[in-house]
Amino acid sequence: MLVAIIASVALLITEHRSHRLDALRATLSVIVDPLKYLVDLPTVMIEQTADSVSSYSTLKKENTRLREEQFIDKTRLLKFDSLEKENIRLRALLENSFKLGEQLLIAELLSINTAPYENIVIVNKGTRFGVHPQQPVLDANGVVGQVFRALPFSSEIMLITDPNHAIPVQVNRNGLLTIAVGSGQLNRLNLPFLPNNADIRPGDLLITSGLGGTFPSGYPVAIVDDFTPMSNKPFVNITATPKAMLDRNRELLIVWSDSSPVSLSSPPTSHEKASETHPNDLPTGSEATEGAQTGTRP
């Protein structure tokens, strides 16, 4: 120990008075420094591992949160897309109502009758809004059909393609009159009463003629399809494609042709009706039937 102490004192004095030991110190550091790093390695690895685990957990939570936000945003975008399309449809109906210049009521589609060869839909407007049978129904593109049955809170609409429906039309190009009959298919109307030499061409626009008193004149109905005249038959087989989007409508326009206002308030109670109406003033059964056939409201 005494020798070690004497050697240490000698080295300290030598290092203090001269730089002869710098080379030795540099040589010894090459051997000692790796040992220092080796001693610190477990601590460094533990700290780095802890940081990695913490970072992974944080990234995983953030990734989960971002995925949930992305899912919510996508759902909102789908809703916004639906609202945008609904807004476009309502704007088209509103613009069409200004062009028509008649009293209109927008009704929303409730259900579709799926019976074979019956093209009937149900809307959410009924007699409490003044709806009555035989009223024409439109969309933003053309004639959809007419009110078949009016109930207090809903109405049944018979589409123009129903086999039991027929609508008087005329060719917009030359005014040729005919009748379009439903075929049972949503994309086809039949024109069975035109002779082989009739002045009608593929692509002609068919509009309502106003005959019959149900549909006012001038509403677009259908476009004539391609056909081949047959000289050996008196009548030609002609079909037409409806202008209205019968399989895509969500909102429809119910039309009043008269100028009398329609009350949108709730109907009076039975007690109020009894106090305001005398029994002798009520219409007879024949008068009520005649009023329904002419399309007027009692």
What is the full per-residue pLDDT of the chain (298 aa) written as tens digits? 888 888 788 777 777 777 766 777 777 777 777 777 787 888 888 888 888 877 888 888 888 888 888 877 776 666 666 666 667 666 666 655 544 556 778 898 999 886 777 899 999 999 999 999 999 998 888 899 999 999 999 999 999 999 999 999 999 989 899 999 999 888 999 999 888 888 999 999 999 988 888 888 888 899 999 988 777 777 888 999 999 988 888 888 898 865 444 444 445 555 444 444 444 444 444 343 344 334 333 3
* pLDDT the model gives residue 242: 95
* pLDDT the model gives residue 121: 94
* pLDDT the model gives residue 278: 45
Q: How many helices (H) and strands (E) does the chain have?
A: 4, 12
The pTM assigned to this predicted structure is 0.57
| Strand locations in the chain (E) | 103-112, 120-123, 136-138, 143-150, 155-159, 166-171, 177-182, 189-191, 205-208, 220-224, 238-242, 251-256
How many other CB atoms sit within 10 Å of the CB of residue 247?
Answer: 12
* pLDDT the model gives residue 93: 60
Which of helix, strand or coil describes residue 275? helix
